[in-house]
Amino acid sequence: MKSITLATLIFTALLAPAFASADVFVSFGFGPTANICGSYIVCIADSLIYIINSVLVPVLFAVAFIVFLYGVANAYILHPGDEAAVKKGHKLILWGLIGFAVMISVWGLVNVVVNTFDLWGYAPPLLPTSYR
């Protein structure tokens, strides 16, 4: 429990200036605009969106595909005569297809909302700076 508390305190202490838009620049180094965003919270959000789009979504599609392939292998290749294994394989095939359908549907709904409300994720304008 102490390690979780210590990690939380360190994480909060390091990122507090970034959330307060203080003089510390925090860049996670992800995404195409990691070093050129206008404000610090935008950089964090951009990095988070980049991780979701480039890592999480492909991993979820890969998991659904692996579940589908394992169901096919379990039902038709590994245990073709065993009724229980075939039933389990059919269930895995069904869940793999449901996973694909849900992910593609959500992806389509997000694109409909983005196109309808013209939400293309433009970065906000840079904050004014003073030159001395």
Host domain of residue 107: 2-116
Q: What is the C-alpha separation between 36 and 124, in angstroms, rounded?
A: 12
Domains identified in the chain, total number? 1
Helix and strand numbers (H, E) in the chain are 4, 0
pLDDT above 80 for 101:
yes
The answer to the question of residue 92 being in a domain is yes
Judged on CB neighbours under 10 Å (0-12, 13-18, 19+), 45 is middle
Distance of CA 106 to the CA centre of its chain: 13
Element spanning 66, H or E? helix 57-72
The answer to the question of residue 9 being in a domain is yes
State pLDDT tens for residues 28-79: 555 555 555 556 676 776 777 778 777 888 888 899 999 999 999 988 899 8
Q: What is the pLDDT averaged over residues 112-127?
A: 69
The answer to the question of residue 41 being in a domain is yes
Q: Yes or no: say if 42 and 124 are a contact pair by the CB < 8 Å rule.
A: yes
The answer to the question of residue 7 being in a domain is yes
Q: Yes or no: say if 37 and 123 are a contact pair by the CB < 8 Å rule.
A: yes
Query: Smallest Cα–Cα separation from 122: which of 9, 7, 33?
Result: 33
Q: What is the pLDDT averaged over residues 104-126?
A: 74
